Amino acid sequence: MPEPQTLAPHGTAAESAIGVFDSGVGGLSVLQELQRELPHERFVYVSDAGHAPYGEKDDAAVLERSRHITQYLRVHHRIKALVVACNTATAAAIGTLRSCYPELPIVGIEPAIKPALASSQTGHVGVMATRGTLASQKFKALVTSLPPNGHLALQACDGLANAIERNDTIKTEALCAQYMRAMGTFGLNNGDIDTLVLGCTHYPFAQHILRRFTGPEVRFLEGGAPVARQTRRLLETAGLLSYQTMAGSTQFLTSGETAPLAEAIERWLHLTATVGSLPAEQAV
């Protein structure tokens, strides 16, 4: 049975933190948008790097980790909302999480295919995602719901999230080149892919590399900003927006080594942050 809604130890539920989790550093791209949209909120960001990459695990393994982390955030941080900042975890687990915690506002992320097709001039859209996301029932249902006149080039990007996670530039560049060539030609001519959907929260951190293969006219779409706006809407509806006027804060935790997450925060968010380790019983 899910636990009842509890109050933060130092005030009302509105003062509680928002939980955010990903398999690693990719969710920082979503966190960045959340901080922009909700500058007065407190966040607890969990990188499950000790169990990454999610995209190459089966649904059962991803669901188990998602439930484990959600329970930890509920019990130990008394979060007022949860953001699943991982496409693979959203596909595998968000339905179960919402069933287990019906009182908890939960926001997931999915590849932005619908807006991509709606805005495409050529009708050809490329989708980069993990194999786990593309194979999920949730993703298949999304594709089935699309209008029949669009053309999707679906590309499973094995190893790319992990290369970005490890800041392995050589490997990242090689994989980007491989997968971009496999999708086809990019541009604004008939038959060209004119919109590229980044269907993993790690991939926005490789945009500067991907841009080399598309040219400046191709549009990139990722899900961080829509997730942030939806989080705000849910908090407003539930009366849970923070009333603090001071700047918000973020606590960073990981089930893996702390140094890579701290380096990623500095590299991509331009922040110097202290990263803590998940309690041993939560990290396994």
User: What HEC string does 26-84 produce?
Assistant: CCHHHHHHHHHHCCCCEEEEEECHHHCCHHHCCHHHHHHHHHHHHHHHHHHHCCCEEEE
What the block records as the tokens of 17 is 């933190």
| H-run or E-run covering 236 | helix 224-238
**Which residues, in sequence order, are CB contacts of 199 under 8 Å at separation 6+?**
87, 110, 111, 112, 127, 128, 129, 130, 133, 134
Q: How many CB atoms lie within 10 A of CB 155?
A: 21
Task: Reduce the DSSP state of residue 275 to 3 states and report it.
Answer: strand
Q: What percent of the chain has pLDDT over 70?
A: 94
Residue 70 φ/ψ, nearest 5 degrees: -60, -45
- CA angle in degrees (0–180, nearest 5) for 19-25-31: 45
Residue 105, H or E segment: none
Going from the N-terminus, what domains does the chain have, and what CATH number goes with each? 13-109+225-283 (3.40.50.1860), 113-222 (3.40.50.1860)
Q: Rounded to an integer, what distance in angstroms lies between the CA atom of residue 190 and that of residue 183?
A: 15
- Tokens 């926005």 label which residue? 204
The b/e string for 256-273 (b: 16+ C-beta within 10 A; e otherwise) is bebebbbebbeebbeeee
Per-residue pLDDT of the chain (284 residues; tens, 9 = 90+): 333 333 333 345 888 999 999 999 999 999 999 999 999 999 999 999 999 889 888 999 999 999 999 999 999 999 999 999 999 999 999 999 999 999 999 999 999 999 999 999 999 999 999 998 999 999 999 999 988 888 999 999 999 999 999 999 999 999 999 999 999 999 999 999 999 999 999 999 999 999 999 999 999 999 999 999 999 999 999 999 998 777 789 999 999 999 999 999 999 999 999 999 998 666 65
pLDDT given at position 2:
35
Helix (H) or strand (E) holding 233: helix 224-238
pTM, full prediction: 0.89
Predicted local confidence at residue 247, as pLDDT = 79
pLDDT for the residue numbered 281 = 64
User: Which residue's structure tokens are 């908890």?
Assistant: 104
Q: Which residue stretches of 78-189 are H helix? A: 87-100, 113-119, 131-135, 137-144, 160-165, 169-183
Show the tokens assigned to 278. 């998940």
> Active-site residues: which are they?
86, 200
In the sheet that holds 81-84, the strands lie side by side as: 106-107, 81-84, 18-22, 42-47, 249-254, 275-277
